[in-house]
Amino acid sequence: MGAGFVYRAVRRQLKTQQQQQNFMMAVTHELKTPIAVAKLNLETLQKHQLDETKRQKLILMTIQETNRLNSLTNNILVSSQLEGSSYSLSKEELNMSDLVKGTITDFKSRFPLREWELEKEDDIELTGDTLLLTILLNNLLENAMKYSPAGKPITCSLHKSNQAIELKVSDEGSGIPDIEKKRIFDKFYRIGNEATRTAKGTGLGLYLCKKIASDHNADIFVTDNTPSGSNFIVSFKIR
């Protein structure tokens, strides 16, 4: 029994170390890529006289990469603060309908080639932290972008019932296998094999979504979309 206990403990430790190593490799790559792209774009603008269409394209690409960098650093910093209990959670009355609308408008501006759909009720009030809820929605939308084809719409909906306020982000990608549905919210966990995975990410986004949902008295889970894809649902309990 003692040997079995030690064996399981060592396996858990090795698995955690491997996940942390994969995380550091992913973060390094995720940090270097937008910096390199932004630097190259700015150098191109500086050295060459481009026509206005090409200039605007390079500027848009640079803004997208800096937004990506900002999102990544926010995830890392907020995750660390929440785990270390150093983040002061704000509890204020906010208009969740306006927050969702503003976030979708921002994504339409940042990613004009993607198709965004919004279905919401107006004036849904919620008590919570505006920054954290914005990060939650940003992560769900970015996750949908990673795992769905560029030509397929991403739908965000917000509705209220007597028992809960439901925020849902739906995509029409390949979906998530049932065996992975519960694990995707674990820290550092990423879908697929480390050697063959092509989607960008660090394994922090959905973990942070779960932590933020929990801090707002909400449940988060994923279901299959029809005919293909996934629904990420955050259900805020109404007290």
CATH 3.30.565.10 placement within the chain: 92-237
Structural contact between residues 148 and 154, judged by C-beta atoms closer than 8 angstroms: yes
What's the predicted TM-score (pTM) here?
Answer: 0.73
Residue 148: count of CB within 10 angstroms of its CB: 22
Quick one: pLDDT at residue 194?
44
Class at the top of the CATH hierarchy for domain 2-83: mainly alpha
**Which residues share a beta bridge with 116?**
154
Quick one: pLDDT at residue 166?
97
| Rounded-to-integer distance, Cα 18 and Cα 5, Å | 20
Total residue count of the chain as it appears in this document: 239
CATH 1.10.287 placement within the chain: 2-83
The structure tokens 């919620």 sit at 126
Contacts of 188 (CB under 8 A, 6+ apart): 19, 20, 22, 23, 202, 203, 204, 207
Contacts of 103 (CB under 8 A, 6+ apart): 134, 137, 138, 141, 156
Question: 10-residue block means of pLDDT along the chain (239 residues)?
Answer: 60 55 55 80 89 88 81 75 76 94 90 92 93 92 91 95 93 90 80 49 79 93 93 92
Cα-based torsion angle of the residue sequence 114, 115, 119, 123 in order, rounded to the nearest 10 degrees: 40
Residues 92-237: name the CATH superfamily: Histidine kinase-like ATPase, C-terminal domain (3.30.565.10)
Quick one: pLDDT at residue 200?
58
Encoding tokens for residue 163?
A: 């028992």
